[in-house]
Amino acid sequence: MSGARKRQSVLEGIRAALGAGGSDKTRKETVRKRLKSPRANLVPERASKDRAGRLELFTGMLEGQGAKVSHAKGPGDVPEIVAAYLRDNNLPTDFRTGSDDLLAAIPWDKTPSLTRHRGRGKAGDGVTMSRARAAAAETGTLFLTSGGENPTTLNFLPDTHMVLIRADDILGSYEDAWNVLREVYGQRTLPRTVNLISGPSRTADINQTIVMGAHGPRRLHVIVVG
């Protein structure tokens, strides 16, 4: 049986179990309306903060999960923050980014010690940088979209991942963050992948012992601009 036929067989079984026919106009209209106007789920009270409160919550949540958070007044402060972080952690001063316009506008030449490469992440990359389009302060979660601007490989291949985000893109809840992505990309035209990241990679599967970098970067450095 082909893959398409298997899928159709599964869907037919679900419809039969629900007592729903394929020509159920009411059901289809309900789904259409829901997709056109998504409803917010339950939003925790801590997500309903003002801008300063969101920044404080976002920072606390990420740092509580092992990430480093730095705050830059403007784009011009970013190169020195990056250089200092790499220097303090004895890391290489070359890093890779995608073609994101916000990252391209950073005056990297202000700090000659840094070398910025562009393109998809490679297995040998020690340090990479991405831009997060949005974040949810309620859990300190970054929303990273795939594409040439910010290839997904940058998120998972290196030992050290740096993420740049504008302060204005830090929202209270997940629902707020998804709404921003819908505004940026349009309804039902989101990128192929949206990765939600709330800290460096870790696991305690073996003997309840925390191991960093098990499935991705062992270090996460988030730089909030503005």
SS3 135: strand
Q: What is the CA radius of gyration of the chain?
A: 21
HSE at residue 13, side-chain half, CA atoms within 13 A, is 6
Q: pTM of this prediction?
A: 0.82
* Structural domains counted in the chain: 1
End-to-end CA distance of the chain: 55
pLDDT digits (tens, 9 = 90+) for 54-74: 999 999 999 999 999 999 999
In a domain, 4, yes or no: no
Spatial contact of 222 and 67, defined as CB atoms under 8 Å apart = yes
Q: What is the pLDDT of residues 80-124, one digit of tens each?
A: 999 999 999 999 999 999 999 999 999 999 999 999 999 999 988
Binned at pLDDT 50, 70 and 90, residue 212 comes out as low
What domain range is 138 assigned to? 41-199+206-225
Residue 101's H or E segment, with its range, is helix 101-104
Q: Is 47 a member of any domain?
A: yes
In a domain, 111, yes or no: yes
Angstrom distance (rounded) from CA 92 to CA 108: 16
The verdict on residue 49 lying in a domain is yes
The neighbouring-strand residues paired with 143 are: 134, 196
Beta bridge partners of 212: 202
Determine, yes or no, domain membership for 126: yes
Whether 16 is covered by a domain: the verdict is: no
Burial of 145 (0-12, 13-18, 19+ CB in 10 A): buried
Q: Residue 213 is part of a domain; what is its CATH number?
A: 3.40.50.10420
57 to 44, 171, 209, 221, 222: CA distances (angstroms): 13, 10, 27, 16, 14
